[in-house]
Structure 1
């Protein structure tokens, strides 16, 4: 079985984190030469690196990370290729239904949007935040078809907003209907339209998001 890593490394020297949000740190507090063992303190925001958005990220009474069913984030996934989309270009429902393998969108499938934007992770100049994004109506269409988990290989399924006003229509629509969102995936090594994935987050009780070590296999 060939296992593919779908997550960016948590590396304080190479990360894309929006301005003003907590930076990732990993600091040694004990070393083997000095103390006989090694230990670090680790600090990060709940939406650092490759991570899951729980409904409570935007919905006041929405499920938190620890309330997400394990079965929701493990199973068959369909990869849709939108690498032809350019910076800040919208992906519409028409684009989706006209894309190859769209007929495989069905209830229970985990839908992954491959934009190719993960190649800009940790680059300078801010291009990582200029990714393609999903139109808000896509959320309702997917939920209506029984798709409750989507993942993107970029910062957000919405247009990234780095300063007020904060507007995230896809998040609000999808999370309010009980969906879950996985962000900052790497999908470059995923072969074929349909794979098995495990996108389980750290079990942070009461939290609105948590990092993922995502994997895919066939």
Structure 2
């Protein structure tokens, strides 16, 4: 396939992208009931292989804080992040919600809070039921048969296992000698091959691939972080998916180039990766510390919140250097 990738003929039948049809929901190579696609390539053996190489003395937090006013996906008027107190020490003295009396409320200072947020807020993973084609999602699950009044019955974020795998960071901004890629720059196969060669690493089946555009340098300024992000185009997405990536993510808020270069499809990379290739998407990943330290290969660990049937869920991914 390419000198920077390691895909054998024997493994191709386990890579959904090799069986994909253009703009069609792909049948999973892992069976008719499969709901996690390429995450099936995470096994006990692969987890052990990468954890044996991990150096826990230096860990990188790849997530962002969630806070009121943070950048997020507002294109479809979804719920921004909100937090509010449900209990305060002074309020409990007045309301006595636990019916414990004045003396107990003086002694015990009780605080509690609640949040409201779109499931695609902050650092998060996209599940396969997030996008599809013609009413069908990956592996042929359909809105007619598998979508209830409140949530999908198939392919939700709750089905995702904790992900422990080899991770690689492709620093496309550094490849081009810039802090941040230009607005709407489309990252294609040539950029990705160039990164692999420049960084001296190979793309392996089972990798979590994270792409640095430099947009996180603009975080959390909504006016500069959100508009017209540089990102992956379909060509680049196909290159990574066919090479066996199990998760593809980036430091922007939508992974892909925007606005879309496809006049018929406003989410060309999302629909391709989620519905055709069976590859979950990770968004708003903070890659700045990895870039500063020149860490391009690492042990990746990430586990999303088990929100049953949800199209996405918050995740706090971490990276650990590999032992020399």
TM-score with structure 1 length normalisation? 0.89
Give, in whole Å, the separation in 2 of the partners of 1:186 and 1:196.
16
Inter-CA distance 28–183: structure 2 relative to 1 (3 Å threshold)? same
Q: Name the residue aligned to 2:210.
A: 112
Counterpart selection for 1:32 from 64, 89, 103: 89
Deviation at 1:127, TM superposition (A): 4.4
Task: Structure 1 unaligned segments of length 5 or more: list them.
Answer: none
Moved over 4 A (4+): none
Inter-CA distance 146–23: structure 2 relative to 1 (3 Å threshold)? same
* RMSD of Structure 2 on Structure 1 (CA): 2.2
SS at match of 1:131: coil
- The equivalences for 1:71-110 within 5 A come to 73-83=163-173, 84=176, 85-99=181-195, 100-101=198-199, 103-110=201-208
Inter-CA distance 40–25: structure 2 relative to 1 (3 Å threshold)? same
Q: Name the residue aligned to 2:144.
A: none
In 2, are the aligned partners of 1:97 and 1:103 still within 8 Å (CA)? Answer: no
Give, in whole Å, the separation in 1 of the partners of 2:79 and 2:287.
25
- The equivalences for 1:14-53 within 5 A come to 14-19=70-75, 20-35=77-92, 36-53=109-126
Inter-CA distance 86–64: structure 2 relative to 1 (3 Å threshold)? same
Q: Name the residue aligned to 2:267.
A: 168
Is 1:152 matched with 2:250?
A: yes
Is 1:200 matched with 2:298?
A: no
Count matched residues: 215
Give, in whole Å, the separation in 2 of the partners of 1:109 and 1:148.
6
Q: Name the residue aligned to 1:182.
A: 282
In 2, are the aligned partners of 1:16 and 1:123 still within 8 Å (CA)? Answer: no
Give, in whole Å, the separation in 2 of the partners of 1:124 and 1:23.
12
TM-score with structure 2 length normalisation? 0.62
Larger helix proportion of the pair = 2
Deviation at 1:151, TM superposition (A): 1.1
More deviation, 115-124/49-58? 115-124
If you compute each CA radius of gyration, which structure gives the higher value, 1 or 2? 2
Deviation at 1:124, TM superposition (A): 4.3
In 2, are the aligned partners of 1:53 and 1:181 still within 8 Å (CA)? Answer: yes
In 2, are the aligned partners of 1:120 and 1:128 still within 8 Å (CA)? Answer: no
What do residues 116-150 of structure 1 show as CA deviations (whole Å, max 9, x unaligned)?
10122221434433221112022222222211211
More deviation, 151-160/60-69? 60-69
Inter-CA distance 195–209: structure 2 relative to 1 (3 Å threshold)? same
SS at match of 1:130: coil
Q: Name the residue aligned to 2:37.
A: none
Deviation at 1:216, TM superposition (A): 1.5
Give, in whole Å, the separation in 2 of the partners of 1:103 and 1:215.
20
Give, in whole Å, the separation in 2 of the partners of 1:86 and 1:102.
25
